[in-house]
Structure 1
Amino acid sequence: MHSRMWTDNPAGRIRPPIVLVHGLGLSSRYMVPLGRRLAAIGHDVLAPDLPGFGRSPIPAGARWPAGPDVLEQAEQLIAWMDACGVDKAVLFGNSIGVQVAVEVAVRFPDRVDRLVLAGPTPDPAYRTPMKQYPRVVMNMPFETPSLNSLFQVEYASAGIPRMAQQLRRTVDDPIEKRLPKVRASALVIRGQYDQTLSQPWAEDFTRLLPDGRLVVVEGAAHNVHYTAAYVTARLIHSFLDGELDGRPAAESNRIVVPGSDYEHDPLAPPQPISTRTHGMLDYATAALCLALPHALACGPRTRKLLTLTAMSASAYSLFTDYELGAVRKIPMTVHLNIDASSGMELLLASATRLRKEPAAGRWAVAALGAFHLFAVAATRLPMGPARLVRVRDREVPALAPAPAARQAAASQADRLDELAR
């Protein structure tokens, strides 16, 4: 098995390492931002590619494209920990990685120090492949564009048939039956725009844990550890230091980790464009698209394309949740994904549909497309803060009382009705 490791090797460290467990069809590649930031604040971090994903080969004897189930991946993770000499670890899981981490925590409780569970699956409302996969697709507009590009590489590497088999074998997993057996303290993390993990199920999931707490990160989605890596790293650090232990219910909605601060994140990529500046560029670009057909000798297709681009850019900019938005309904991540799609469309159009148009217009379209992609990559996404959420006391539908208990409850209700009459 291939794995990545980040450490600063301080003398005398006794804290268990953090093991990052990836999700459906993915590998440790999308764990890199979180791993680097956790190491920067003093943690040893390991991120394996489970067999058949990333750089780890499919296990000998396994028939392609058979994807693994939760039990298989839990056993593979324990075998890898044995081979690496990791007696006890903090397990961080994302998506299906949560199911694997919980399985390990229940079957091998002495090997788990604490659990960090980001975007737990599967929600009882979507426990068929035909219901779960659309939720996975619905997450994509809410993720940062660079992550969506990485997903395409990962899915192609694992193979779509194998990923579909893994989804089929893991989606119908009654994880709620194992949660009460978890002995380790657990932190559940949900991104505000997570389309796979609903807020009610996140609260039910946390309530079933004997020692769990739920935190929601604003601005993030299902893969909160990538989109909001700095906030997630600080959140995990606070949890491991015991700063979230024993929080009373009155502290619901309390900010436990502030939003991302670009100036204080030394590992942040160069992104000089703020959301306000991006908004100004949006409106300026829309005005330029309207002016170019009059300034250049553009053909009819080029004029039509530039006019449509100007109208659509103005429309979704007005609805974007940033400083220059008028209605503020569209999250900034969705806006950037639309910008990225528009940029690619302009570049492709300049090389295909507009080949017979005048050269000046074609070059202008190509330049606008390249500028869109540059602005997407150079824009800082505001993420956070992370808020502690109160877990409401309510019955989980998947854990309804047994038939005998239901019959007894119904009889008691009938007797109370008689007394009332």
Structure 2
Amino acid sequence: MVFGWGKKRSAEAPVNREISLQDVPGAVAEIDSLRESRAVSELGRLRDETAPLVAGLMEVGRLLEKDNLNVDDVDKHVGVIVVRGKKQVIDVIKKGVTDLPKVSSIDDAQKLDMLLGQILKKVGDVLGRQTRVIHIFAKKYAHQLKGDLEVMSSNKKEIHRLLADVESDRAASGRITGLIGQVGQTESLRSATLEKIKETERNLESLGSRIKSLQESVDDAKSSAEYKKYLELQAKLDAFAGQKERIRADVGAQFAKISRPLGRYEYGSSLDKEQKGLLGVLVSDPYDSLLPQNTDTIILILENVRKAISSGSISVKDMDKSLAHLTETEEALDGFVKRISGYGSERKKLRDELDSLRPARLESLEGDLAKNSSLLEHAQLKSESLRGEADEAESRLPRLVSEIEARLCRFSNTKYTVRYGGA
């Protein structure tokens, strides 16, 4: 074996190019420009190849117009059909076939693509309709037309493919630059969010100091002698409130003994509005009716009930027992009224004394403390939310760069590593 022959060459390792993110738009634009330049050159070549064929079509039209196709040798009716068909072909070529524009840009090529498509369609349609006329009476043109149109159609497809490639490249480069724009937007969002976090942290620190100061003031106010006396009075008032329930229970127990005859009297008697209202309260909750100004009316009602029981207007199981309970209730009435009035007076006295010691400053401090505590909680939640947004932006940036890198590799057919240092 001759030295070197048959020796397998080792495959070259693909070159891995490194590029900074800020240089990617320039690289993409350069590739785009180079590819478009090559495409324009190739499209121009295709145009130049196709232009003589278009000129050939126009020449066929001129020749066909001068050629009578020997219609004098055929049946008159057939001759008419041939002449009419020839005229249609000539008219389409004259009106629909024009010189192709020069190609110096992609826009020119797109116009070329459109014009060539129109020419092929118009000529193809008319030749399709007049295929017999051409193939039978104009054989010498048919072969040329067929060949030229096939080449033109092939060139048209190639032009369209090249333009599609250009559009595909433009779309791909647009996606890359769009992703780079997203990187910038994400960096701006992250920076703005981090600034908001700093502002929120400063607010949290300020609120923390404010709350600490307020709490100290609240503690000082609560350690004062006045506040301790206020609490003692409040406890005394709370305990005193139990007396009301005891009085209510005693009153309720006493009036429960006469509840049946009272209820029947309420149902069957005809009283004036004031008495009827008072009787209703006596039946439902007698405590609320035992006021000094109601005493005489209550006694009158009880006496009327007594008379109704005695006369049999109100039937009871044990008349003597019911009458005794009425007497007992009337005798206890004055004591109940005094107990209730005394409770009210004493409670008012305690309430007035408590109000005079009300720690207005402490209440204001506690209100401020609650308000600032609420603001602190809101600021903490806001801080957590902002940190989540910042973290999301932070994690999104490498994903965007990775996608840019992958798309750049596919777009350029070159292995790239995109270098990104962050904002």
Q: TM-score range by the shorter chain?
A: under 0.3
Structure number, greater radius of gyration: 2
The TM-score with structure 2 as length reference comes to 0.17
Higher relative contact order (CA 8 A, sep 6+): 2
The TM-score with structure 1 as length reference comes to 0.17
Q: Which has the higher strand share?
A: 1
Q: Which has the higher helix share?
A: 2
